[in-house]
Amino acid sequence: MNTVITRFPPSPTGHLHVGGARTALFNWLYARHMHGRFVLRIEDTDTARSTDESVQAIFDALNWLGIDWDDGPYYQSRRLDIYREYLDKMIAADKAYYCTCSPEQIDEMRKKAMAAGEKPKYDGTCRNKGLSVTGHAAVRFKAPQSGTTVINDVIKGEISFQNDELDDFIIWRSDGMPTYNFVVVVDDITMGINTVIRGDDHVNNTPKQIQLYHALGADLPVFGHVPMVLGQDRTRLSKRHGAMAVTAYREMGYLPEALVNFLVRLGWSHGDQEFFTRKELIEYFTLENIGKSPGVFNQEKLLALNAEHIRNSTPQHLFPQLRPFLKARGLNGDDTLTPETEKLIEILSPRSKTLEELAENTRFFYEDTIQYEAKAARKFLKPVALEPLELVCRQLESLPDFEEKTLEDAFRAVMETSGLKLGKIAQPVRVALTGKTVSPGIFEVIALIGRSKTINRIQAAVDFIKRQPEKDTVR
């Protein structure tokens, strides 16, 4: 079998969004699964809207997702000589012709066809005139006028189009620029692309492209048109559904492997499995398992999947991605992973859905002064907590070490002295140490922050309670 060669051809008119990212992933995964090649092509012939910033944004998004390419990036704007060469071949072979019809004439043709109950299309006025090139002429493809054009789609099955319903479409505009369908075919032929996986919004372009392949005497690639991604309300995916730029998810603290996992599952499956590593996706991905129904973008499912990937990641893997979120909060300037931060990530990652949340949860470790959540302080930092807090403080001061077993024994001693259950002791201590009512295990927290910080924070909580006016204290 020939080496599988797929491609991803984004237009640099904005950021890479999730729909385009999924198309890129399907092509990349299939190439990797088949030990083939993946080509990146920048379709920038729309010079009015294409920008260098958008090109860089596409590169950034692909790199963050871990999508690498074997060939390219190719830029269509730099390949005009190649397109002109193929255009000249088609004109010389009588596969294309010059057309001087004005926009007003073409509009009139379409109105006339619609009035007659026919499809609005070009009526072939210039088809057999044998016109030579002029300053304002477009070039039209001389399309077959009878028979059918068939797409043998590996996802959708066979799709047929009647040729008499198609028209002689323009392949080179009068402004001197080639059109999309023409350059795509020339690019795919010259780049050896033999597998085209793309959204099913391209289905109507495909018969035109197949006709161009035939006219140029080239073999057809394998076509696979993937159903579109919809929002939860089953309408076309938009920003309100979460269809943001890929890099926006990076900024919100999502892991790239989680977004990759989620996007691939929008329209592809491997049994009932939901969680996939990158290695598993490459191993399992086939075109046969792409579904025929649209995928539904579920933001809550993405968040849950991200939390699962965080839980399954090591501190060594998470720290480089977490570091910008820590620095943005002024919490940790370290560029290397210290044993303390490694332990911190280890105990907090099971409780964090995003890197943003994980960074926020580390505040209690890095900040010198704890800010108490108002509700937590009202409920747990009140006079009744003074005795257990002071007892805990005295116990901790006398401990030989801060191992978790030793800490458990110290709290047990406080329970015996005070007659209180662990919850009545641990919750005020938790608020004193973290400012919150929810944290990892209290003994893990104490062992992590150490003797000095623990005692200082408990004493600060004691002072806080003593400063509160009695009328404001919630009993």
As a whole number of Å, the end-to-end CA separation of the chain is 78
197 with 32: CB under 8 angstroms? no
Helix (H) / strand (E) element for 198: namely: strand 195-199
42 with 71: CB under 8 angstroms? no
Q: In DSSP terms, which residues pair with 229 in a beta bridge?
A: 295
**Residues noted as catalytic:** 239
Q: How many other CB atoms are found less than 10 A from the CB of residue 150? A: 12
Q: How many other CB atoms are found less than 10 A from the CB of residue 134? A: 9
5 with 221: CB under 8 angstroms? no
Helix (H) / strand (E) element for 377: namely: helix 374-380
**Nearest CA among 257, 253, 159, 259 for reference residue 209:** 159
Helix (H/G/I), strand (E/B), else coil: 361: helix
Q: Where are the beta strands (DSSP E) in 9-78?
A: 37-42, 71-75
Q: In DSSP terms, which residues pair with 140 in a beta bridge?
A: 97, 170
Q: In DSSP terms, which residues pair with 41 in a beta bridge?
A: 74
DSSP string, 81-111: HHHHHHHHHHHHTTSEEEE---HHHHHHHHH
Rg for the chain (alpha carbons), in Å?
32
User: What are phi and psi for residue 103, nearest 5 degrees?
Assistant: -55, -35
103 with 173: CB under 8 angstroms? no
